[in-house]
Amino acid sequence: TTVVITEDDLYQIMLSDISNSSNPFGVKTEGASYDDMRQFLITEVEKTPEKKIKIAGSRDASYEAVFQVLALSKARGWKPVLAYD
Per-residue pLDDT of the chain (85 residues; tens, 9 = 90+): 999 999 999 999 999 776 778 888 888 889 999 999 999 999 999 998 999 999 998 999 999 999 999 999 999 999 999 986 6
Beta bridge partners of 84: 57
Bin 64: left if φ > 0, else alpha if -120 < ψ < 50, else beta: alpha
C-alpha 55, offset from chain centre: 6
CB 46 within 8 A of CB 76: yes
CB 31 within 8 A of CB 10: yes
